[in-house]
Structure 1
């Protein structure tokens, strides 16, 4: 019903609001708005969101203002208005939540708001220096919720009885802490095991501190102290993988990095993600070895603000530049983020010098989200705290599907109606702890959404841990090819209905022929796809070891170029180098079409990295060398849909090419080859929509060059924005394909 029609009749209106409208201060907002317009009636949380009934002459204005002035964490999907008979109510009230089958949702955890921050440092306020201050506009949500509706009795805060002052705020519709479920104060709320002074003294003294944050434990140390950072690397068994840092304020960001407007806006958002920024190199060299960017974040919890407030007053930082601290996930190498106090004390004893716990339980682990800005738009690298469980809106309602993702950078997805809920980043599933976290996430997401999946979608790979979980479930299964899922995730996110070409560049995926795919050109339509092109296959001497040892892929390139005799001398430091030529001479060895392995090969040939201690290390260090890109004319060939970079590799091994120039030439030429490839395919098929996905699109140089080239060629690129292009988005694509197949099978 329109506002104009409402204005003609002052009878009672029933207003249904759906979306993220519980636990965000929406009811007190509605209460205040109704009072402003002199309306009577009520507001209540219900299984679908919020129901409002109002009577009064200004009801139309009230409805019009609902969306315009909503609380900062609210997300309104739909407002439905109906007229009902007037009841002659005398006042406006906020009533108790209704029970029933749920279709609303919990919002993500949010960084401390400005109002709470002001109170945190106000000596006259009862929350002064209290590390758990929060209100309806900030604080933990998803990580402390057991189930919906999002009421205190359904969160871990039920363990803390409200004092008189907090109870008064909680019950006052005029307060921003009205039904703020995480409300607490020093009298009645959670407590730290150690004081701020002890934490700051340890950091200032070069020690490593583990603190319990919103979604799990973090490890902190002085980011300018090389010895402290090296000690953290040694203890965490993380020899090269970069650490993120936290600075105390937005003003300090440009002291350590270069940030533009969109990047600064992301840093200050309530989600408080880590943003990758070009570093100014005044931090410890061990922070991000061989890389040109560093992950930067701002304080997200009151505890972080208190630490920086105290650090700034210590002797070490009074006269010099502001404090910068490493803020990295507190988990033993390769395992999920720790959330349990007893487990943290046991597992972090040999890593942290000081372990700071508190007595507010974390139910759902949520690591820090990581993002970058590519081609002027945000791009996820890891999607977790601050964004989960915000759903992706689908083009139509679909059956309820559970999709279990891949084996690395694991996520799961559950569809409900026209929404797809992608879980927080879980991590790799190669440990027992990782599998437990994976199964806990499925149970929690299923419970909070109050749904029962009709099928489970999984990767085509038969030996993947997520596939074995699906097979053991006893449910109906739908297998989805890895690269098809990558493409479908972007198609689902953008609501694209027609056919699309998909350029999928990543490290590894099980192909329909049982082979090792990874550089694919697909034609996707509905729930089906056809492989119309791929990168030229390259041998993988040593099988899976080649993914961890780039020199092996470089050896395969040399062998392909007829220069196998150079392998031993070039890689003399590798003990197996003399044996690899014989492996490459054999027929029937493992091959791959992987784009990621081409990056590895190029990096090793140019002396950037022969081995890698973490996934993508060689490619990331290779990208960091790019000063400018160049294109080698005739640097590639395309025959029957197969793209070969053989001419480019012949140039890369020339003696007159240094690593930086080689990196620029490889990136520029590979991007140009891909643009040529998809342009030819678009002309041949008549399809001009191009999906760009896969882990290689985390490479900002490659992503920007290909995106720009596609647009210049008159093509329309679809790039993942709500999810990462890497395996963190696989589960959404699996869910969308499975849902389409179910829907198609039910049609006559």
Structure 2
């Protein structure tokens, strides 16, 4: 007989790992025990060498579905352990090196039980087991035991306790186990405070009543897993409009939930990969191509037509001007029970006013959502950590993450070769779409999406979540990485933390971080040769003190060289240019030609007449005297400028990139082989001060000519996308010959534009260039923190600058 200590690291707590160890060890005839501790799972095992070998092999083959083994370390033990059999021991505390599992969608077995009248979990909205249910959203500390979660407030009843300790039960050591007798309860409230009686509508229970309310056109605030959502019938235009007005979210698409895949398939085309994502334990929102779009009369309720395959039309206000819809399936028993009788989709959007963080507390919801919702469905299980719904899409055959949150965070990202022996590092992320990142021992732990920090409530949530992660993982950073922008709140907080803890701080250039993040998630080793990174976004603080946003950087993890850029153009009014796209159009036009020439050549154009109503003298002074009109080489602002020129969100928009997103949808809907199509719009390529520049000036004159000839906005939008892609490919072709480049990274928020992404990627692949894109982290600023962290790690590993 031999004795071994077996250390398992990875996602191995709260995922049914100890029960699996117990089952396999018993089957292999081993004696010993298994426990959770700060480093993961520790096994003490006694048995023959053959039995131990079989045990290790089966452990890897039969790993629980939510678990991920990162490392197995076997150590011989010299001494004697007195074990009569194999047992699950109590957890022990210690230095935290383990991982926290993301929240997981309800598993098929639990789903079957909530609809089984003979099950004690029949219609229980908080049913869960070892393989599904809340994790990150309820945890306060490691190890992941009930006492360290918000379920500590609920004492298990004898029946739940029996299942908890029953090795044959799928709830064996499921920390959130609960039932009607001992667990959380849900209830319905009117937001006006009046009482609810069963005579108001037929219902099985309060959860079932929500379905009736939604069918009647009411707005219901529903407390779910990681936050509170606002819901209404997605096929009733009046209800959707009412929700938008009350929520003050006037344009951005709203997320949808449907009872099953078949209902989603009535409205959208679903590929095998997209179906896999929808039905995965992560259960994200998946952006799907619309199958059919028919408008319904306003205020008309949805009445099913049994003769029609498409039972109801999605209300036009759900995703105005879009060719895709964001759908998710029910991921908790609560959602399944609500939608059991719902044969059409519902809107399920964050419970907040526009731009605020999602509500998670009952009292907070009553205060902040009382004027938005008509009813509340609340429960008494505390949400410890706010976790938004994740958003993904499939581009080609690859998943692109738009927002990384529920179902994915905080699962670690394994870093490429060369990053194994790194000190603890904290990266603070960006200002918009913020995440932060903890780096340790070859892996990166990204927070869930935390939103835009310019909102005070979002910034408070950011600080709270950062403190929680630092405590959960007992992470004591030896250095902090921040964005170079001096006014980002994340950067200011990073400086405060560095000063308070007397550790070094390192400002990282925004677009270098974008590129490094994409390199890291694609497994590019630390000491690899430089790649050509194309970082296109709204803006980021540049090395020269100007704003960048259309960059071609020769980069590795340690350094970069700016090889090319888009022509810098003034952002008139600074931040105002983001929300008033016409400002960008005017700046681009007068950068392309002087105003007198433009008015002479294109005097009959509506866009020029539009500008005559603006204070052009004042605008020109702002540009000439550089008053709140910084130069920016921003590809995002170029998209806004073209969109406004053809009449898309010209005057104002509520969100950055909104005009560009609408223009992409318009371009996709037009056939590029249309007979009206003309050759590509031309771009100039210049070389000045050791840097190449893509100048859109000739493109603008050609575009105005198309407007003059009354070419449709859709064709112009499609031509612009194709022409810009061609210009980017030509620039890469030239730079790759000069710099012996074989790999190109496509990153930044602009590359969420699938039309541009596909055209550029296909063009570069035709040239024999390997193209790297994002999948695990977003191309937008949600991935910035990973890039900041690996750049700082590379500094340390090569220069030994931290210690």
Q: Give the TM-score normalised by the residue count of structure 1.
A: 0.94
Match of 2:47 in 1: 55
Q: Conserved in 1, the CA contact under 8 Å of 2:636 and 2:660?
A: yes
Alignment of 1:553-564 (within 5 A): 553-562=584-593, 564=595
1:652 is the counterpart of 2:703 = yes
User: Contact (CA 8 Å) 2:684, 2:695: kept in 1 or not?
Assistant: yes
1:549 aligns with 2:600: no
8 Å Cα contact 2:592-2:696 kept in structure 1: no
**Partner in structure 2 of residue 109 of structure 1:** 103
Match for residue 515 of structure 2? 487
Report if the CA contact (8 A) 1:606-1:652 is conserved.
no
Q: Does 1:94 align with 2:77?
A: no
1:6 maps to which residue?
none
1:110-160: CA deviation from partner (whole Å, max 9, x where unpaired): 000001001111111111100000011000001100011101111111110
1:508-567 Cα offsets, whole Å, 9 max, x none, are: 111111111100011113311111110011222222211111111111232233263369
Equivalent in 241, 263, 271 of residue 274 of structure 2? 263
Q: What pairs up with 1:142-157 in 2 under 5 angstroms?
A: 142-157=136-151
Deviates more, 1:29-38 or 1:629-638: 629-638
C-alpha distance in structure 2 between counterparts of 1:604 and 1:709, whole Å: 28
Aligned with 1:590 (options 610, 624, 630): 630
Q: CA deviation at 1:571?
A: 5.8
SS at match of 1:457: strand
Partner of 1:618: 659
CA shift digits 1:379-410 (9 cap, x unpaired): 11111011000111112232211111111101
- Say which is worse superposed, 654-663 or 558-567, in terms of deviation: 558-567
Residue 119 (structure 2) pairs with residue 125 (structure 1): yes
Q: Matched residues in 2 for 1:122 and 1:108: separation?
A: 27
Does residue 469 of the first structure (1) align with residue 461 of the second (2)? no
Is residue 607 from structure 1 mapped to residue 647 from structure 2 by the alignment? yes
Alignment of 1:657-696 (within 5 A): 657-696=711-750
Q: In terms of mean alpha carbon deviation, does 219-228 or 372-381 score higher?
A: 372-381
Q: 1:704 maps to which residue? A: 758
Summarize the Cα distance change of 1:659–1:569 in structure 2 as closer, same or farther, 3 Å threshold: closer
In structure 2, the partner of 1:70 is: 63
CA distance in 2, matches of 1:44, 1:555: 66
1:2-13 correspondence runs (5 A): 11-13=2-4
Query: How far apart, in 1, do the equivalents of 2:339 and 2:615 lie?
Result: 50
Q: Does 1:19 align with 2:19?
A: no
Which residue of 1 is the match for residue 245 of structure 2? 234
- Equivalent residues, number: 729
Q: Which residue of 2 aligns with 1:172?
A: 166
1:635-683 deviations in Å (ceiling 9; x for gaps): 2222221112223222222233211111111111111111111221121
**Are the aligned partners of 1:629 and 1:667 in contact in 2 as well (CA < 8 Å)?**
no
Give 3-state SS (helix, strand or coil) of 1:521's partner. strand
Aligned-partner Cα distance in 2 for 1:703–1:580: 38
For structure 1, the 5+ residue unaligned runs are: 1-9, 313-321
Tell me what 1:635 maps to: 682
Q: Does 2:424 align with 1:373?
A: no
2:462 aligned with 1:438: yes
Q: In structure 2, how many angstroms separate the alpha carbons of the residues matched to 1:715 and 1:489? A: 20
Please tell me whether the aligned partners of residues 593 and 697 of structure 2 are also in contact (alpha carbons under 8 angstroms).
no
Shift of 1:741: 2.0
Mapped contact 1:244–1:296 kept (Cα < 8 A): yes
Q: Is the CA contact (8 Å cut-off) linking 2:535 and 2:746 kept in structure 1?
A: yes
1:617-642: CA deviation from partner (whole Å, max 9, x where unpaired): 11111000123447945722222211
* Alignment correspondent of 2:377: 356
How much does 1:93 deviate?
Answer: 1.1
Task: Summarize the alignment of residues 291-370 of structure 1 with structure 2, pairs less than 5 Å apart.
Answer: 291-309=322-340, 311-312=341-342, 322-370=343-391
Contact kept, 8 Å, 1:457 with 1:479, in 2: the verdict is yes
Spell out, residue by residue over 1:276-313, the C-alpha distance to the aligned partner (whole angstroms, 9 max, x if none): 1112222000100111111000001111000011x34x
Task: Return the offset for 1:37.
Answer: 2.6
How far apart in 1 are the matches of 2:318 and 2:643? 21
Query: What is the deviation of 1:606?
Result: 1.4
d(CA) in 2 for partners of 1:375 and 1:726? 19
Q: Distance in 1 between matches of 2:735 and 2:159?
A: 67
1:44 is the counterpart of 2:65: no
Distance in 2 of aligned mates of 1:555 and 1:161: 65
Answer with 195-204 or 408-417: which moved more. 195-204
SS at match of 1:327: strand
Question: Could you tell me how far apart the structure 2 residues matched to 1:61 and 1:143 are?
Answer: 36
Mapped pair 1:203 → 2:214? yes
Structure 1, 430-439 or 297-306: larger mean CA deviation: 430-439
Q: Which digits, 9 at most, give the CA deviation of each residue in 1:159-196, with x for residues without a partner?
A: 10010011111122332212211110000000112211
> Which residue in 2 is equivalent to 1:4?
none
State the Cα distance separating 1:476 from its structure 2 match: 2.2
Cα distance in 1 for partners of 2:720, 2:10 equals: 46
Structure 1 stretch displaced more, 52-61 or 489-498:
52-61
Number of the residue aligned with 1:319: none
Aligned-partner Cα distance in 2 for 1:659–1:635? 18
How many Å separate the matches in 1 of 2:13 and 2:679?
Answer: 56
Give the Cα separation in 1 of the matches to 2:210 and 2:617. 53
Give the 3-state SS of the residue equivalent to 1:93 in structure 2. Answer: strand
CA distance in 2, matches of 1:677, 1:123: 65
2:607 aligned residue: 570
Q: Provide closer, same or farther for how the CA distance between residues 404 and 585 of structure 1 changes in structure 2, counting only shifts above 3 A.
A: closer
Moved more, 388-397 or 139-148: 388-397
After superposition, the Cα gap between the structure-2 partners of 1:571 and 1:381, relative to the gap in structure 1 and judged at 3 Å, is: farther
Residues 135 and 183 in structure 1, CA contact (< 8 A), matched pair in contact too? yes
CA drift at 1:464: 1.1
1:318 maps to: none
Distance 1:634 1:358 in 2: 57
Distance 1:440 1:628 in 2: 49
Q: Deviations over 1:206-261 (max 9, x none)?
A: 01000111110001100000000000000000111110110101122211111111
Q: Distance in 2 between matches of 1:572 and 1:360?
A: 59
Q: Which moved more, 1:662-671 or 1:582-591?
A: 582-591
d(CA) in 1 for partners of 2:654, 2:281: 33
2:125–2:333 CA contact under 8 A, matched in 1: yes
Asked whether the equivalents of residues 632 and 648 of structure 1 are also in contact (C-alpha less than 8 Å), the reply is no
Structure-2 residue corresponding to 1:223: 234
Contact in 2 for aligned 1:43/1:50 (Cα 8 Å): yes
Matched residue, 2:299:
none
Out of 457, 461, 465, which is 2:481 matched to?
Answer: 457
CA distance, structure 2, for counterparts of residue 585 and residue 354 of structure 1: 51
* TM, length-normalised to structure 2: 0.88
* Alpha-carbon distance between aligned partners in 1 of 2:557 and 2:635, rounded to the nearest angstrom: 26
